Amino acid sequence: MHVYLRDIAYYLPEKALFNKEISTNFLEWSEEKIFSKLGINERRIAGENEYASDLAIKAAEKLFEQGACSKTDIDFLLYCTQSPDYLLPTTACVLQDKLGLRTNIGALDFNLGCSGYVYGLSLAKGLIASGMAKNVLFITAETYSKFIHPQDKSNLAIFGDAASASIISAQRGLWEISEFIFGTDGRGAENLMVKNGGVRHPEYSGQNEFTDEGQWKKNDNNLYMDGAAIFQFTTSSVPGLIKETVALNNITLQDADWFVFHQANKFMLDFIRKKIGIPPEKFFTHMENCGNTVSSSIPIALREGLLSGQIKAGQKIILAGFGVGYSWAGTLLK
Amino acid sequence: MEFSDFKFKFIDQFVGEDISTISEDSAFRQLPSWDSLTAMAIIAMIEDEYKVKMTIDEMKELGTIGEVFTFVSSRQLS
């Protein structure tokens, strides 16, 4: 059975954080340096009383306004987030009610970060190909800003909050979803982590830790990212992921019209693009105005590519998601 | 292993830098775009292209492209 990605919408919160503000607080970083390294000028930050599920609702409502599908058509809801409202219930149940979806549908959360969009497409495709669902609403939403320590300049500069909503169904749409390659390596779990606040370490008892040079390093209450380890993981795993994804789908690198990867940051994407040998004109990036939006970065890039007319329905697009876990996955849209 | 080729690949890791002025003796850490990410990119490039594994601490000891080139050459021989 052919399964299609029919439409995508996304939502960014209103409050903006510009490079200027970051360079004012961290004098060693100029506005220009942040932009030339990260390719990011602005990231959006959820309001104090605004949570990932609020962004999720806004993205889904936009999707329904775009008209590809109505609320009553939805018979399964998948919600990808690492910023759930509660430990339980699953936020997807709350979203079903707030969005006014039918009650005779399936709904569940799954916890993935930067690989989440590709994983969600695979789950949605499986539900439809097996005949268990006809129209899957797949939402991604993240508010990493709430996890980031105010002295953590790297993560402040990289991550932005956002949500996306996609419809996957057997009805013809923008692209057919092809075959998937998956990867998991939990040895990297501690390199990108929010340690405290879960069941294993429930107390927010973290202390600020500093480097030998006296720079702020980490606090277990907050998001921790070992940039060097993540760089090494990405540069060693993504080229193989792309090679396998291309081979599994019986195409060559040259056959692909576009490569849309998780929008980690410009520096890392440039490095892996060169390593794989992808020409810059086929490598779509969109993070200048929103930063790294975790599981929403691929759908935001796809939507912006469509809106600008660069990416077109039916083109061959290689997607790759990779990050926290470690977790990675790739597929072909065509 | 040619120095000119090594230098080209080394400088390629500096994002948005005016590379025309960089020479064998340039102290690359003084370049405006240098930071810890650049170090990671250089280490990854050296492993990919020259099959030499270099640690961050070993990298910290080296100050010019010429010194890094000598380090990589000697590791390739040993």
Could you tell me if A87 and A127 lie in one domain? yes
Same domain assignment for residues A16 and A164? yes
Does the beta carbon of B16 lie under 8 angstroms from any beta carbon of chain A?
Answer: yes
Same structural domain, A138 and A224: no
pLDDT band for position A299 (cuts 50, 70, 90): very high
Cβ–Cβ of A267/B37 closer than 8 Å?
yes
pLDDT at A147: 98
Q: Average pLDDT, stretch A255-284?
A: 96
- Domain end, chosen from A175, A199, A225, is at A175
Chain A partners of B58 at a C-beta cutoff of 8 Å? none
Q: Which of A226, A170, A224 is nearest to A201 (CA)?
A: A224
- Are A220 and A153 members of one domain? no
As a whole-number percent, the residues of chain A with pLDDT over 70 amount to 100
User: What angle do helix axes B3-11 and B65-77 make, rounded to 10 degrees?
Assistant: 120
Average pLDDT of chain A is 96
CATH of the domain at A22: 3.40.47.10
Q: In three state form, how does the secondary structure of A218-279 look?
A: ECCCCEEECHHHHHHHHHHHHHHHHHHHHHHCCCCHHHCCEEEECCCCHHHHHHHHHHHCCC
Tell me the C-alpha distance between A268 and A275, whole Å: 11
The mean pLDDT of B58-73, rounded to a whole number, is 91
Q: What is the DSSP letter of A191?
A: G
Tokens of A15: 């409050």
Q: What's the pLDDT score for residue B17? A: 67
The position carrying tokens 């923008």 is: A174
| Among the ranges given (A186-200, A263-277, B32-46, B57-71), the one the predictor scored with the smallest mean pLDDT | B32-46
Give yes or no: residues A191 and A170 share one domain.
Answer: no
pLDDT tens digit sequence for A123-157: 999 999 999 999 999 999 999 999 999 999 999 99
- Same domain for A115 and A193, yes or no, is no
Give yes or no: residues A161 and A12 share one domain.
yes
Per-position b or e across A305-325, b if 16+ CB within 10 A of its CB: beeeeebeeeebbbbbbbbbb
Q: Give yes or no: residues A162 and A194 share one domain.
A: no
> Is B44 in contact with A232 (Cβ distance < 8 A)?
yes
Structural domains in chain A (count): 2
Chain A: residue nearest B48 by CA? Answer: A275
Q: Report the gap between the CA of A91 and the closest CA in chain B (Å).
A: 36
Out of A140, A158, A175, a domain closes at A175
Q: Are residues A191 and A162 in the same domain?
A: no
Distance to chain B for A33, nearest Cα, Å: 7
Q: Are residues A300 and A193 in the same domain?
A: yes
* Whether pLDDT at A198 is above 80: yes
Catalytic residues of A: 114, 262, 292
Same domain, A321 and A184: yes
Give me the domain span that covers residue A310: 178-333
**Which residue of chain A is at minimal alpha-carbon distance from B36?**
A228
Do A150 and A167 fall into the same domain? yes
User: Which range (A164-178, A202-216, A291-305, B19-33) has the least confidence?
Assistant: B19-33
Question: A175, A208, A234 — which closes off a domain?
Answer: A175
- The arithmetic mean of pLDDT across residues A288-299, rounded, is 98
Q: Is the pLDDT of residue A33 over 90?
A: no
Predicted confidence at residue A136, as pLDDT, reads 98
Note the pLDDT of residue B16. Answer: 65
What ipTM was predicted for this assembly? 0.72
What mean pLDDT is predicted for residues A32-56?
95
The band of A13, judged by pLDDT with boundaries at 50, 70 and 90, is: very high
